[in-house]
Amino acid sequence: MKLYEAKQKRSTIAGEMRKLHDDIGDNSWTEEQSRKWDEANSELTRLDQFIKREEEIQSLDDTFVQELNPEQRGLINRPGDVDVDRRAAAFNKFIRVGLSEMTVEERQALKELRASGDWQSTGSNEKGGFTVPTQFWNRVVEAMKAYGGIASVAQILTTPNGQPIDWVFSDGTEEEGMLIGENEAAEEEAANFGSVQLGAKKLTSKIIRVPNELLQDSGIDIEGFLAGRIAQRIGRGEAKYIINGDGSDTKTPKGLDKWVSKTKGIAGSSLSWEDVLTLKHSVDPAYRNSPKFRFAFNDNTLLEISKMKDDQNRPIWLPDVVGIAPATVFATPYVVDQGIADIGTGKSFMYCGDFSHFIVRRVEYMLLRRLVERYAEYDQTGFLAFHRFDCVLEDVSAIKGLTSPDTGIAVTGVTLDKTTLSVAVGASSDALVATVAPATATNKAVTWASDNEKVATVADGVVTGVKAGTANITAKTADGGKTATCAATVA
């Protein structure tokens, strides 16, 4: 199957699934309708995996075309960039050979990209670096979109420098007007707001070591390689901190999770459709009509949600139809962000709200340093990029989070002291011993079951033979549903 055929087939199946959902409406789903949905969903998953593999292969061949994409070249146009191509060529040569082999003209072009005083004021470690050209910055920013789903719907504030900005945040959901009569004075109500400084936290790509043979090969798109690696590291780092940053010190941002209030809806590690619906309705209706109203969770949570059905056996997830309708959960679009935690006790793993009120500030200038001497013995050159950003939720009622209460130390596994045992008909064995891990787990309770009670039964680990045959005896933990099995033979 070719890629375009797979996409066409996926679009057809997704459309059929949506039609099935719409035709049934608010009625309960029959077993046949549920079976038809599940079969279509399985095929959709298989096609998604195929399309992803094929697109990854195709992307390797499309690099040149992507470089010529005018949307990528024109994302940002810095004031004063009147000779972009000359500077970009000088920057490319700087990456490949360094300053020592550059001409006077090329060095002059590179000097125009010299890091600003604002960067250098932060310390001597950045001295000698250069701000990257516009095209390179655009490629990094474009590639970063793959690693930050929340950033794709947040309000991005791009600034030319990292000067602190005083930003006001508020919570106005409890504020409302009042009726008054003739000649009656209006009452006062103080607005509930505060102020926070939106700064420019510094994030590094860590040092990227590149073999010199790669730098010397003119057939290699070295800028594309570096931009991709920098975007991968910076993108994942930024996504992590704009969600989970604790703001505990001057270098760490206060991420989304520290701004939002939580809805503690689930018990242990089990998520239900009621929890998802409760989260959606915990957000004030005034925010739910925004074009940026979304659910946000990671890919593992999406997998769980895509299988969920409500009390009338209706799926809560609908697939996207390219160019027609986005994928939704309870008729609400969503974004996938791997910076969000997995489902688990004590974790915030899902958010819902109007993300246009979440501000992500990025400083336009990215600094790149070239490190030669440190890796000379390995015949490699190191590259180190610096990116600055910060974030704030300007309306703390606009987004809510879903978390599970911290019930203590979770169970990670269980083992039995025997994997096989024999017992006579009418007789009982010694009690099997179930050991729950870790030893410090809060809830060590287990339940026992036999898969063939006509042969053997079990109570509190004691197996009793009923008639000749075999049965599997299973211990299952109350926390996490971990299991261990013993094969029992009755003779």
> Which region holds residue 98: left if phi is over 0, alpha if psi is between -120 and 50, else beta?
left
> How confident is the model at residue 176, as a pLDDT?
63
**Span 357-376, mean pLDDT?**
89
237-251, 256-270, 358-372, 440-454: range with lowest mean pLDDT: 256-270
Question: What are the residue ranges of CATH 3.30.2400.10 in the chain?
Answer: 62-170+193-298+337-407
**Token reading at 481:** 């549903």
Tokens at 43, concatenated: 């095929």
**CATH class of residue range 413-490:** mainly beta
Sole residue written with tokens 């038809």: 36
What share of the chain has pLDDT > 70, as a percent?
85
Q: Is a pLDDT exceeding 70 seen at residue 26?
A: yes
Q: Which amino acid appears at position 467 of this protein?
A: K
Residues 6+ positions from 137 with CB-CB distance below 8 Å:
76, 364, 365, 366
Distance between CA 358 and CA 198 in Å, rounded?
12
pLDDT greater than 60 at residue 412: yes
- Give the integer Cα–Cα distance in Å for 329 and 294: 9
Domain with CATH 2.60.40.1080 in the chain: 413-490
Specify burial of residue 64 (Cβ count, 10 A radius: 0-12, 13-18, 19+): exposed
For residues 151 and 239, give the distance between their C-alpha atoms in angstroms, rounded to a whole number. Answer: 7
Determine the Cα–Cα distance for residues 389 and 407; give it in Å rounded to an integer.
Answer: 35
The CA distance from 118 to 322, in Å, is 44
- Which whole-number Å values give the CA distances from 11 to 130, 220, 326, 330, in the listed order? 46, 36, 12, 20
Q: Which amino acid is at 343?
A: I
CA dihedral 170, 172, 173, 176 (to 10 degrees): 170
The residue-averaged pLDDT of 329-357 equals 91
Structure tokens at 118: 């604002």
pLDDT at residue 10 above 70? yes
Burial 295-313 (b: 16+ CB within 10 A, else e): bbbbeebbebbbebebeee
Is the CATH number of domain 62-170+193-298+337-407 3.40.50.300? no
pLDDT digits (tens, 9 = 90+) for 161-174: 889 998 887 765 55
What confidence tens digit (pLDDT) does each residue in 304-321 have? 999 999 988 999 999 988
At residue 435, the pLDDT reads 95
Task: For strands 434-437 and 446-450, give the pairing.
Answer: unpaired
Q: How does pLDDT run across 478-489, given as a tens digit for each residue?
A: 888 899 999 999
CA distance 55 to 461: 52
pLDDT in tens, 44-72: 888 888 888 887 777 655 544 444 444 44
Minimum mean pLDDT among 8-12, 68-72, 194-198: which range? 68-72
Q: Give me the pLDDT at residue 266, please.
A: 62
